[in-house]
Amino acid sequence: MKIICLLGRLTKLITHLLLLFLLIVSSGCEKKQEQTKQADSSAMKDTAKIQDTTARKTEVPQLIGTWNGKFDKRQTTLKITEQKGNSFKGDITINYRQVINQQVSGNFDPATKKFTMQDLLHSRFKGKYSGKVSDDMKSMAGTFTMTLDGSRYNFNLAKK
């Protein structure tokens, strides 16, 4: 009988120790999770500060204005009349024997100074432009690719 009583007390003691151990371990995990959450929150704030600083440094230069030059060795005028952030719109006139007038829209990446632009009006001469603006923002050069047959033409324009 004493052995059974002793075993019962020993079982209770082990059970209490296990419960105490589990309580200590689980409270330690909660503190680690809380510390991890605080660290994540701090890292997110730091990332937001970096992004905000980067956004302020990368102001989008204005492309609006008249750009004159050559497209496939022909006199050309690009008039950018509207710009919202990185997007812009305008008109291009290329002086072939039959003058081409086309509305265009495009996007500009101020970090790389690269741009893409496409013709908006349906025409057999419709295509896409890609190029780069000079560091001083006074000239641009690139290539036009015709949608119909993939023909490629170079252009160089300077801002007036």
Long-range contacts of 20-28 (CB under 8 A, 24+ apart): none
Whose tokens are 């937001």? That residue is: 48
Stretch (H or E) spanning 27? helix 2-57
pLDDT tens string 90-134? 999 999 999 999 999 999 999 999 999 999 999 999 999 999 999
Joined tokens for residue 24: 């200590």
Percent of the chain beyond pLDDT 70?
Answer: 69
Cβ–Cβ under 8 Å, residues 74 and 93: no
CA 57 to the chain's CA centroid: 15
Per-domain boundaries in the chain = 1-57, 65-159
Residue 12 has pLDDT above 90, yes or no: no
How crowded is the C-beta side of 17, counted as CA atoms within 13 Å?
6
Has residue 55 got a pLDDT over 50? no
Which CATH number is correct for 65-159, 2.40.128.620, 1.25.40.10, 2.30.30.700, 3.20.20.70? 2.40.128.620
Whether 22 and 14 have beta carbons less than 8 Å apart is answered as no
Model pTM above 0.85: no
Give the residue-averaged pLDDT of 4-8.
Answer: 66
Task: Answer whether 90's CB lies under 8 Å from 80's CB.
Answer: yes
Residues 144 and 130: their CA atoms lie apart, in Å, by 7
* Per-residue pLDDT at 13: 72
Structure confidence at residue 81 (pLDDT): 97
CA quadruple 99, 100, 102, 107: dihedral positive or negative?
negative
Q: What is the pLDDT of residue 45?
A: 59
- Between 14 and 102, name the one with better pLDDT: 102
* Distance of alpha carbon 120 from alpha carbon 101, whole angstroms: 11
